Amino acid sequence: MIPKLTLENSIQPVYRSFIESLSIAGFTGDIEHSYSSRLAVATDNSVYQWLPQAVVFPGNTEDVTLLMKLSQKPQYKKIHFSARGGGTGTNGQSLNNGIIVDLSRYMTRILELNIEESWAKVQAGIVKDQLNKALEPYGLFFSPELSTSNRATIGGMVNTDASGQGSLVYGKTSDHVLELVAVLEDGSRINCKTLSGSSLQAKLTQENREGEIYRQIWATSRNLRSEIEKTFPQLSRFLTGYDLKHTYNPERESLDLSRLICGSEGTLAFVTEIKLSLDRIPAYRQLVNVKYDSFQSALRNASVMLKAKALSVETVDSKVLDLARKDIIWHSVRNLITDVPGKEVMGLNIVEFAGNNKHQIMRKIEDLCQLLEEEMTHDRSGIVGYQVCKDLASVKAIYTMRKKAVGLLGSTSDRKKPVAFAEDTAVPPEHLADYILEFRALLDANNLSYGMFGHVDCGVLHVRPALDLCDPEQEITLRKISDQVVKLTTKYGGLMWGEHGRGFRSEYGPAFFGPTLFEELRKIKRAFDPHNRLNPGKICTPSGSTEKLVSVDAEKRGSFDRQISEMVRGSFRDAFNCNGNGLCFTFDTSSPMCPSFKQTGDRRHSPKGRAGLLREWLRQLETHNTNVLAEEMKLEQGNLMGFKSLINRTRNSIAKRKGDYDFSHEVMEVMQGCLSCKACTSQCPVKVDVSDFRARFMQLYYQRYLRPAQDYVVCNVENYAPLMAKIASVANFVMDQGWSKRIAKSTIGMVDLPLLSQPTLQKRLKNQPAARFDLTQLECLSSAERDKKVLIVQDPFTSYYDAAVTHDLVLLIEKLGFQPLLIPFMPNGKPKHIKGFLHSFKKTATQSSRYLNRLSELGIPMLGPDPAMVLCYRDEYAQILKDTRGPFKVLLLHEWLLSILPQRQPCLDMNKKFYLFAHCTEKTANPSTHEDWMRIFRHFGAELKPVSVGCCGMAGTYGHSAKNIRDSKGIYALSWQPALANLPEKQCLVSGYSCRSQVKRLDGKRLHHPLQALLRLLT
Ligand SMILES: Cc1cc2nc3c(=O)[nH]c(=O)nc-3n(C[C@H](O)[C@H](O)[C@H](O)COP(=O)(O)OP(=O)(O)OC[C@H]3O[C@@H](n4cnc5c(N)ncnc54)[C@H](O)[C@@H]3O)c2cc1C
Ligand code: SF4
Ligand code: SF4
């Protein structure tokens, strides 16, 4: 039995007292101090892990003011704070072991929008893509781009002065900040914008913290102007902390404090509101993908592209391209970056042209294409081919692939993982190719593997060398390489932190700025934050203090992970593979990953949150000398669930009910919030499979605690559904009574349980050939006879709760000229897997696969109507049975339909139109789902338009659990409800049983399976 996990790491008394006072002082946001909440913000996308004491989620600027005012009390003077947005920093910028102030949960509003003057005032926690989505109808956008645009906040972008693709034209975040509101360390609120003349004089004479700040900056900016001009590198990228170069304008004698706060990494103030200048969305965007024989050729050729007046040039190396080829993302770009016969594409330049004059853009593209043709004719520049993307959808698809590239670098089965520590160096673009040659030599000399890509137009290179930071020796390598990269960038007139900020690399600041200028930075820090309380140790410490800067050697995630045995790490590899890049935090409601995070806004309830919690849980078990694999083995052998275990579990559950703490309860709460939709399994760049480790965790947890009755009800649905169908009218009558619904809710915690289909499938198919399955007879058929047959693998949900669909499937197969046969119902086991009854699931999977393997020898295609259940045979079966699964294949319906299309004449009459709402497990596991269905419908004479939606919120039985009902409805409201509201009901088709039942219960609409629409087209 797993032990109870009490925590070694409790909150320091002063912090406990502070957060208690905060909650009574009228703080309107959330205050969290559970271990799981703290862990959720203990990492970002860097190699570091720092556990804070608490996390607070302010609701507005007043909350931040209150927080800092309270912190002025003498007893709280030692407390420190770090602001946090999306937590996508690559160098630990937002990590701190004090209090994390997360502005991303509630401070997400657009406060004011002025279309005529093209500006917006926003709260700091709004995500960049979220803002742009709201601006799109007005033809405006916030132009600085970054790869994490679907999860990074404007507050984070301001504080790292973020920029990326297109920065030569659109500039950096700081170029767009017109004004901002900030809360200072003493709790005062300041408005920052360009000031000169009397308004500046007024500030300079103020007798308060703001006045001190103005006086210090005024003195530094003017007195050290030449030093500043000399030291700050001549790059289009700005170095974070502090932008003295642009804060003061000598011609206008003006100061702009917002410019100084941009890029200050949360070390000067909390930014709560920002007024941003906006750009017009260019009417035309086109892009040329230029293919090269090497990365070096691509780099050297980039300047030619720029001369062609491109908006941006992005370069990707062969390693990144190869990883993209293996990912679901390739599906969307494979026709845009096709192979070149007889050549290997080893580098790619993505060259974008954008503007409002279509003619001009076309001409630029034509000129470039002509140039490329000439180069290719003369075999110059290593160009092996090119392709033009003419429509916006293709342009966006290419950038989505490019944005996912960093994450893709992490998808390796090796123990060494690409890590961020020198990943955003910047040198003048003209030196980039030579610089990279040396950089590569440095990495090669240390036997490190790596992939590279970057914004070559401004000399920024992204590279993540692969290291195993569970090995202390490799931590030393990280430090060594880090130091050498600093030297190398200096040699080429660039800098190490060229795009993503300084964070734990702050120790390199003094050498870079030199003693005089660095001391001035420290004076500025002192003016803002005299006691070093805001993100301490980053950028610089206050002048006169003896506090230390953070260092590259700071505590890393590896030092926690390595406490777990290698075997366990290997077995739970998914949880360790998560590199924290945060793609699972995407705000995009039409993306399937991750419904539980989108609904709750709680980062614990995301793949990253769950992976982090599981790692810590394994570490805690290890410190309690528990071998989790041995525990699993005992369970598999059935050794642990006897009478004695029942007594123990009862005792432990009583203690739990009385409030006895066990860290496993926190992990359980977060695992229970997961819908097991499996979107992360394919959408996460490193394919973190939460549903798998969640099931394993649950199994072990319930070795110590009693399971709720609901789990047994769900787990046995495949046993009782066929029995209940025999007395469907009686069963439905009972289930439909108010008292029985109340009993179901109070005893098993389930609501809105579906009624059985009437007439039942058995009645519908009575005396029909499809119901006369006889294996012996099938085995005697000739191969020509077998060619006519199709076997239907039933699932409990479609057959017993949506029997019309299975019946229509039979009719459709017949209409298509085949003879369908219904395989007698046999359990699939998926409900057991979802609830973590893995031992029992394995038994079911063994029996089913044995039978299905036997059937597959007939050579007759087998297919199933429900995608999630069919895919379970492929995924969960392979995981649990490994080699013993056997070769049987159950096809998704559209896979079979595609296979028979060549035998049928296409219908040319396209006068019908349908909309497809595909199941998320299906479209994420099988990226061609939409295209396949579209092809099928086209063949049958109808147009099918896929609708971009996320999860429906039902996910098997998740939506029927009383405690999930609010979240289930919330998830439905995110994308399904609005999408369905605007479309004609009769034309909407839904492939998943769960989704159809969710639509029926929440919108009262009975939508059809695509197969039913096809059947109507044929009759
Ligand atoms: C895969 C990947 C790709 C990336 N690509 C790019 C890129 O193309 N261009 C680029 O510029 N960056 C890039 N980054 C880095 C990162 O996304 C940016 O730095 C981003 O701006 C951080 O935003 P965030 O909301 O996640 O901030 P966080 O990481 O939460 O915080 C970043 C810093 O800002 C401070 N901060 C956050 N909010 C506030 C606030 N309201 N007030 C005061 N301080 C605050 C924090 O204390 C911290 O110091 C990438 C990161 C990853 C993981
Ligand atoms: S779970 Fe996947 S998408 Fe989420 S942070 Fe981890 S690696 Fe990134
Ligand atoms: S299975 Fe679905 S709900 Fe669970 S973590 Fe993955 S994406 Fe989120």
- What is the pLDDT, as a whole number, of residue 237? 66
- What is the pLDDT, as a whole number, of residue 505? 97
Amino acid symbol at 669: E
Which ligand places an atom closest to the C-alpha of 580? Answer: 2
CA of 157 to the centre of ligand 1 (A): 5
- CA-nearest residue, atom 2 of ligand 2: 684
Residue 263 per-residue DSSP state: T
Is the beta carbon of 156 within 6 A of some atom in ligand 1? yes
pTM of the model: 0.94
Atom of ligand 3 nearest to the CA of 592: 7
Is the beta carbon of 274 within 6 A of some atom in ligand 1? no
Percent of the chain with pLDDT over 70: 99
CA of 942 to the centre of ligand 2 (A): 39
CA of 403 to the centre of ligand 3 (A): 21
In the β-sheet with 347-355, what is the strand arrangement from edge to edge?
383-389, 284-292, 347-355, 312-317, 452-455, 460-463, 425-426
Element (H, E) at 287: strand 284-292
Which ligand places an atom closest to the C-alpha of 688? Answer: 2
Where are the alpha helices (H) located in 287-378, listed in sequence order? 295-307, 318-326, 330-333, 358-377
Other beta carbons less than 10 A from residue 607's beta carbon: 30
Other beta carbons less than 10 A from residue 883's beta carbon: 6
Nearest to 793 by CA among 904, 889, 702: 889
- What is the pLDDT, as a whole number, of residue 307? 80
- What is the pLDDT, as a whole number, of residue 9? 60
- Out of 574, 591, 593, give the residue to mutate to test ligand 3, the one with the largest number of ligand atoms within 8 Å of its CB: 593
pLDDT in tens, 73-127: 999 999 999 999 999 999 999 999 999 999 999 999 999 999 999 999 999 999 9
What does pLDDT average to over the chain? 94
Nearest to 1011 by CA among 808, 868, 795, 819: 808
**Strand partners for 194:** 256
Tokens standing for residue 930: 């939409």
Residue 959 per-residue DSSP state: G
Which ligand places an atom closest to the C-alpha of 180? Answer: 1
> In the structure, which protein residues have their CB atom closer than 6 angstroms to any atom of ligand 3?
593-596, 607, 610, 674-680, 690-691
Of 407-416, 649-658, 865-874, the one with minimum mean pLDDT is 407-416
Which ligand places an atom closest to the C-alpha of 148? Answer: 1
Is the beta carbon of 127 within 6 A of some atom in ligand 1? no
Atom of ligand 3 nearest to the CA of 681: 6
Per-residue pLDDT at 640 exceeds 70: no
HEC sequence for 440-480: HHHHHHCCCCCCEEEEHHHCEEEECCEECCCCHHHHHHHHH
Is the beta carbon of 631 within 6 A of some atom in ligand 1? no
Tokens standing for residue 845: 């999977």
What is the C-alpha separation between 780 and 371, in angstroms, rounded?
A: 67
Q: What's the whole-number mean pLDDT along residues 3-31?
A: 93
- What is the pLDDT, as a whole number, of residue 641? 67
- What is the pLDDT, as a whole number, of residue 1003? 96
CA of 410 to the centre of ligand 2 (A): 10
Which ligand places an atom closest to the C-alpha of 595? Answer: 3
**Strand partners for 461:** 425, 454
Task: Read off the pLDDT band of 868 (50, 70, 90).
Answer: very high
What is the C-alpha separation between 193 and 258, in angstroms, rounded?
A: 6
Judging by DSSP bridges, how do beta strands 988-990 and 912-917 pair with one another?
parallel
Is the beta carbon of 45 within 6 A of some atom in ligand 1? yes
CA 330 distance to own-chain centroid: 17
Is the beta carbon of 108 within 6 A of some atom in ligand 1? no
Strand, helix or coil for residue 101: strand
Atom of ligand 2 nearest to the CA of 579: 7
Q: Pick left, alpha or beta for residue 255 (phi over 0 → left; psi -120 to 50 → alpha; otherwise beta).
A: beta
What is the C-alpha separation between 688 and 416, in angstroms, rounded?
A: 16
Is the beta carbon of 1014 within 6 A of some atom in ligand 1? no
Torsion angle, CA of 472/477/480/486, rounded to 10 degrees?
Answer: -120
Of 54-68, 249-263, 394-408, 685-699, the one with minimum mean pLDDT is 394-408
Residue 556 per-residue DSSP state: B
Per-residue pLDDT at 561 exceeds 70: yes
Per-residue pLDDT at 437 exceeds 70: yes
Q: What angle do CA 248, 543, 480 make, to 5 degrees?
A: 95
CA of 678 to the centre of ligand 3 (A): 6
CA of 922 to the centre of ligand 2 (A): 20
Task: Read off the pLDDT band of 238 (50, 70, 90).
Answer: low
Which ligand places an atom closest to the C-alpha of 585? Answer: 2
Tokens standing for residue 440: 């590569």
Atom of ligand 3 nearest to the CA of 951: 2
- CA-nearest residue, atom 6 of ligand 3: 680
- Out of 147, 578, 605, 670, give the residue to mutate to test ligand 2, the one with the largest number of ligand atoms within 8 Å of its CB: 578
Strand, helix or coil for residue 676: coil
Strand, helix or coil for residue 809: helix
Burial of 767 (0-12, 13-18, 19+ CB in 10 A): exposed
- CA-nearest residue, atom 4 of ligand 1: 147
- CA-nearest residue, atom 23 of ligand 1: 156
Tokens standing for residue 162: 């973020």
Q: How far is CA 661 from each of CA 5, 145, 359, 509, 655, rounded to the nearest angstrom?
A: 8, 45, 68, 44, 9
Tokens standing for residue 248: 């003061």
944 — phi, psi (to 5°)?
A: -120, 130
What is the C-alpha separation between 384 and 373, in angstroms, rounded?
A: 10
Element (H, E) at 732: helix 728-735
CA 619 distance to own-chain centroid: 24
Q: What is the DSSP string of 3-30?
A: PP---S-PPPHHHHHHHHHHHHTT--SE
